[in-house]
Structure 1
């Protein structure tokens, strides 16, 4: 685009219904000159239709949490009521943030929508997002609030034993906050949310979001937030323990993973993906199902595996892969994230996924 065309697009974004005469007056050119620029922008695909509707590449919206993860991993068997030698690290995390980062690394256009504090951890989030080219223009800094934080105690194998979160800042993610971004959300290919969002916000999203909804659960004590209008969920990504808890919240009896998935499908959830490091991946909808259990050769950190899986699954689906291929790539991405200290493998890319998929799924 020329500088003049960029200037015209900026004006149209502010007033999509502006007339060619008004546009010409602002620019100091003739109406026919304005019409010529509009014609060129339409021809190039930057605007379309009446009212100068802006044409934008396909994108994903991610609405969820960003937090600082403090992870303590024991060097040997954990002993309760005792100090345990190990390693303590501090990392940027949060399910929503990790999903958005995975999408960014896979070159999927996405907008991350969240809140963060005006503290040191908030600054770390801003610096990290800039370094990773994440689009966080729709994230809001909340004055006087601390950025969400999470502490995880892991055993020597990297499995989480217990976690404590301080996520009071998410009370600022209200229906009004979502409404400000609703038009963008409803123009995305998928809206991905995590259950850090308050219950009333999830219900507002159920009611107002028209694009396919992907839900990533984050903990047992937040499953209840999903139960009203659960049929609105296009894809649910959940752990076995969270699945059991969700079935209980729905006043149903949990028997096993397969039975629980069927219960959710019967209640209207379109696709259910259950994932854990130990039990593997289960996927089912009304017509197909898959199950794989691959033991990673190396586990350094499991905290971002499920979020990386989520982002990669949507990358696959947006690229018109069938379910089997998209799920295999998603599983490969989850395993790759376990091999690094950070929640999302810094080297995550389409090339890495293809290489690892050939090794993990040779047939």
Structure 2
């Protein structure tokens, strides 16, 4: 919301039956200008109807990938160059979709804007995500491409050996396809982006969100897809990356804590990001803040079944913390708890995650 919209919301909260003439007097605007603001806010979903019903909960919009994840679990140790016995499993996946599902399972008011094929796989993805409490009404279904897929080959301990993705559907995306989503996106309190889409499109989404005063969080999806990260990330409040991705983007090796601090500082200064997270999976997470402070957050682990999707769960925990107005370090603690809970299940997103359990584990591992 812009400043005028925020002021209108404040006045309506004080008096839900305030007239447009009264609003105009208080805001020193014409009545017709107030009417335009009210109309636009109703289109955005900020005002829900007559008598000025204001939405009570914050809203998160996730934009990015949704894929069908296929996981191959070997019966024995993988032997390259020959056939191996595996068991195949299918799960809903995609970074933005995973983050949205995690948030939905925490009870957050979350919407997903993604792109799938007009096929059975795409319908299944959207239906499943909707059942987790996520609004998918703004997602696109395109007839000219198949729904994206991601195939994972793991070792017996659940560690990734090889990942294979088919994401050609995203190459066809243009800003025109998202033009009608503008009002919906601008009503968000927080925007999450993964870098699966063409960089010029992602850059424009960031620019518009920044102008609207919407907090933007983003994740680099893979070291092989860093070319999709826009050069200018001014307007991004928080970027999550890992060691391999940062090495590709910065073109130097990152081994020590000093290297990590330097890399985070360089990403912040070169790309214009406010805060940077370097997620090292089981080794923990480094947070480099806009004030130049480096913090380390441990990664607790209990039962380790499969690591796929752990960083998406981490980001969902961080976003939950931000929406609860926690400081960034504490928000990252919630991210670490979500990551720990996610790897306890073979699914890409643990369907048994609950807010009560998250709070219990946070108390267990991070209470002072």
Instruction: Provide closer, same or farther for how the CA distance between residues 44 and 342 of structure 1 changes in structure 2, counting only shifts above 3 A.
Output: farther
Q: Which has the larger radius of gyration?
A: 1
Instruction: Provide closer, same or farther for how the CA distance between residues 330 and 44 of structure 1 changes in structure 2, counting only shifts above 3 A.
Output: farther
Deviation string 1:133-183 (CA, Å, 9 cap, x unpaired) is: 320010011124211111111122212122111111113431112332222
CA distance in 2, matches of 1:276, 1:301: 16
**SS of residue matched to 2:265:** helix
Quote the residue 1:282 is aligned against. 286
CA distance in 1, matches of 2:83, 2:280: 28
Contact 1:70 1:89 in 2 (8 A): yes
Q: 1:294 aligns with which of 279, 294, 299?
A: 299
Q: 1:270 aligns with which of 271, 274, 280?
A: 274
CA distance in 1, matches of 2:190, 2:228: 20
Deviation string 1:24-78 (CA, Å, 9 cap, x unpaired) is: xxxxxxxxxxxxxxx99x7279x99522342434211110111100111334433
Quote the residue 1:21 is aligned against. none
CA distance in 1, matches of 2:367, 2:207: 43
Q: 1:243 aligns with which of 246, 266, 273?
A: 246
Q: CA deviation at 1:261?
A: 0.9
CA distance in 2, matches of 1:288, 1:125: 40
Q: 2:360 aligns with which of 325, 348, 355?
A: 355
CA distance in 2, matches of 1:186, 1:157: 43
Mapping for residues 1-363 of structure 1, pairs under 5 Å? 43=16, 50-51=34-35, 52=38, 53=41, 54=47, 55-56=54-55, 57-210=57-210, 211-248=214-251, 254=254, 256-267=259-270, 268-285=272-289, 286-294=291-299, 296-363=301-368
Deviation string 1:253-311 (CA, Å, 9 cap, x unpaired) is: 75632221121122221111111323221111124332134352322221111111111
Deviation string 1:92-133 (CA, Å, 9 cap, x unpaired) is: 110011111111111111211011112121121132133223
CA distance in 2, matches of 1:145, 1:302: 29
CA distance in 2, matches of 1:230, 1:194: 13
Instruction: Provide closer, same or farther for how the CA distance between residues 253 and 356 of structure 1 changes in structure 2, counting only shifts above 3 A.
Output: closer
Deviation string 1:163-222 (CA, Å, 9 cap, x unpaired) is: 111111113431112332222222211111111111221222233222222111111121
Contact 1:206 1:229 in 2 (8 A): no
**SS of residue matched to 1:181:** helix
| TM-score (ref. length: structure 1) | 0.81
Deviation string 1:216-264 (CA, Å, 9 cap, x unpaired) is: 111112112224112332110112111111212xxx6756322211211
Count residues with an aligned counterpart. Answer: 321
Uncovered stretches (5+) of structure 1, i.e. residues with no partner: 1-38
Uncovered stretches (5+) of structure 2, i.e. residues with no partner: 1-11, 24-33, 42-46, 48-53
Instruction: Provide closer, same or farther for how the CA distance between residues 44 and 218 of structure 1 changes in structure 2, counting only shifts above 3 A.
Output: farther
- Bigger shift: 97-106 or 220-229? 220-229
| TM-score (ref. length: structure 2) | 0.80
RMSD across aligned C-alpha pairs, in angstroms?
2.5
CA distance in 1, matches of 2:93, 2:223: 18
Instruction: Provide closer, same or farther for how the CA distance between residues 324 and 123 of structure 1 changes in structure 2, counting only shifts above 3 A.
Output: same
Instruction: Provide closer, same or farther for how the CA distance between residues 295 and 353 of structure 1 changes in structure 2, counting only shifts above 3 A.
Output: closer
